[in-house]
Amino acid sequence: MRIGRVEAWWVRIPIEKSRQHRSDFGRIATFDAAILRIETADGIVGWGEGKNAAGSAGSYGALVHMLNHEIGPQLIGRDPRDIAVIWEMLYNGVRHESAALTGHSMPQLARRGLTTAAISAVDIALWDIFGKLLGEPVWRLLGGRKRDRLPAYASGGWASAETIGAQLRSYIDEGGFKAVKMRVGAMDGAPNISAARVQAAREALGPDIEIMVDAHGTYTVAEAKRFAHLVADCDLAWFEEPVIADDKPGMAELRASTSIPIATGESEATRFAFRDLAVLKAADIFQPDPAFCGGISEAVRIATLASAFNLRFAPHLWAGAPCFHAGLHVCAAAASSFVIEYSLGANPMIHDLIEETIDLKEGMIAIPDRPGLGFTISESFLEAHIVKP
Ligand SMILES: [Mg+2]
């Protein structure tokens, strides 16, 4: 069993004007990703995804170049089942033999960002191959599926105080969700404007729908405290990325000052970063993105870390189909998972890139039974949306 071919593309899918939204990331007119295809010498194909931009639109030229010209050649001829060994090889670079023999990591200078995004894409594709080879869904290889459906939350919520209730209510009517997430922070200009939107949402939805808020890391610690104080009576399920990922002590200070659970992690990569969040007591909920944190292997380790610190795990799944399915399989097997992010903004990278339909009923998403990650890429659709260098 050998890897024969590795190919990555920058895929860019336009979003029709009526379905575009605006946030602190600007108006989102496309959904972009690095999509990776790994094929074994005997024809088993696995799909992966790497991410290096927020808000779904962004430039993927460098990541795709890295996958095709630096990472790909190192994979040719390797056994695709050596998933953890390949992960460490890519992370530790030229010193991977020393790292393997001495039992501790020796990563290179560029150990985050594009590097972990590229490792993520490879790792997701290798798990897909391993599952297809054995004829088993990936969740079975990770230890089983705790439920055949997991609760999902509707992720969206950009409307003003006047219309946010109707916008969130439309998600609930559409998908039967019991939990919804709305955006706050810099896009509103000041904490009191965000707070008024959250209060309007709580008033419109009543006490029994969970409401989460996401500031995309745009508050200072002081602003985040003001906001948390203003919405203290709104019974929020979590306050996501209140401050930038580079201010973990600030996040810990905020967490100590409020009863609202703090969620974070979509901008973090590897178990090492999440260890720091845990040790600093900076978060209640870990949200690694499988296409950025280091793939399925690293997401599993981060979920275990959450459990060990009596925290919870709710991965960032505003993503394309390979990353979204990776998250589904990890959550199915993880002790610390409890809810799946389901984007209610336009997401052609999940829905149009694959032949299957995401099975969502009454706010619950089915964990696929099919071998591997359980989706089929529409290769003609992919080809039509490749960004040519
Ligand atoms: Mg977020």
Q: Which residues are CB-neighbours of 380 under 8 A, at least 6 positions away?
A: none
Using the mean position of ligand 1's atoms as its centre, give its distance from the Cα of residue 264 in Å.
8
Of 270 and 389, the structure prediction assigns the larger pLDDT to 270
pLDDT at 286 over 80: yes
Output the CA 362–ligand 1 centroid distance in Å. Answer: 23
Cα 49 to ligand 1 centre (Å): 18
Expressed in angstroms and rounded, the spacing between residue 243 Cα and the centre of ligand 1 is: 11
Condensed to tens digits (0 to 9), the pLDDT of residues 102-113 reads 999 999 899 999
pLDDT one-digit tens code per residue, 170-225: 999 999 999 999 999 999 999 999 999 999 999 999 999 999 999 999 999 999 99
**Centroid of ligand 1 to alpha carbon of 183 (angstroms):** 8
> Can you tell me the mean pLDDT for 378-386?
97
What is d(CA 286, CA 270) in angstroms, rounded to the nearest whole number? 12
**Tens digit of each residue's pLDDT (9 = 90 or more) over 304-331:** 999 999 999 999 999 999 999 999 999 9
Ligand 1 center from residue 313 Cα (angstroms): 14
**292 within 8 A of 269, measured Cβ to Cβ:** yes
Which DSSP string corresponds to 16-64?
-GGG--EETTEE--EEEEEEEEEEETTS-EEEEEE---SSS----HHHH
0.85 exceeded by pTM:
yes
For ligand 1, the distance from its centroid to the CA atom of residue 195, given in whole angstroms, is 18
Distance 22 CA to ligand 1 centre (A): 15
The answer on pLDDT for 54 being more than 90 is no
Calpha distance 177→48 (Å, rounded): 28
Separation of 69 CA from ligand 1 center, angstroms? 31
Query: 123-165 pLDDT, tens per residue?
Result: 999 999 999 999 999 999 999 999 999 999 999 999 999 999 9
Task: Give the whole-number percent of the chain exceeding pLDDT 90.
Answer: 94
- Domains located in the chain, CATH noted: 3-136+379-384 (3.30.390.10), 141-366 (3.20.20.120)
Centroid of ligand 1 to alpha carbon of 265 (angstroms) = 8
Task: Please tell me the total number of residues recorded for the chain in this structure.
Answer: 389
Separation of 211 CA from ligand 1 center, angstroms? 14
Q: Measured in angstroms, how far is the CA atom of residue 30 from the centroid of ligand 1?
A: 18
| C-beta separation of 329 from 317 below 8 A | no
Q: What is the mean pLDDT of residues 286-291?
A: 98
| 300 vs 323: CA distance, rounded Å | 14
Distance (angstroms) between ligand 1 centre and the Cα of 154 equals 12
Query: What is the Å distance from ligand 1's center to 64 Cα?
Result: 24
Q: What is the mean pLDDT of the chain?
A: 97
Bridging pattern class, strands 149-155 and 340-343: parallel
What percentage of the chain reaches a pLDDT higher than 70? 100
